[in-house]
Amino acid sequence: MSDAQRLAKALNELTKSPQFDYVKARAAARQEPSVDWPATKARNADFNAEVDGCESFVMRDASVCEWKPGQFRYTAS
C-alpha cells in the first residue's frame, strides 16, 4: 500500500497544475518502478480520457493508485 500512497501523493501534486491531464499522469507513473504495467493496462482496457479523466495504476504489491474523477484526485487502496 505504501507504493500506491507514494504515487498518489506525487500525482496529486501534479493535479494542481492547470495543464494536468492523463498523459502527464501516465508519464509521472512511468517514473515509478513499482507500477505493474501489465496489470495497469488490463485494469484500464476500456479507458476513455473524455469520460474517465485519468487512469488508475496497479502496483506490484497489488495496491492501487486510483483516480477519483468526482474529487479530481488520486487515492491509494
Residue 60, pLDDT score: 97
Indicate the domain borders of the chain. Answer: 2-76
pTM of the full predicted structure? 0.92
Residue 11, pLDDT score: 97
Helix (H, G, I), strand (E, B) or coil at 16: coil
Q: Do residues 47 and 57 make contact, with C-beta atoms less than 8 angstroms apart?
A: no
Q: Please give the full DSSP string across 25-56, using - where no structure is assigned.
A: HHHHHHT-TTB-HHHHHHHTTT--HHHH-S--
Per-residue pLDDT of the chain (77 residues; tens, 9 = 90+): 799 999 999 999 999 999 999 999 999 999 999 999 999 999 999 999 988 999 999 999 999 999 999 899 999 99
Residues 6+ apart with CB under 8 A from 51: none
pLDDT digits (tens, 9 = 90+) for 12-24: 999 999 999 999 9
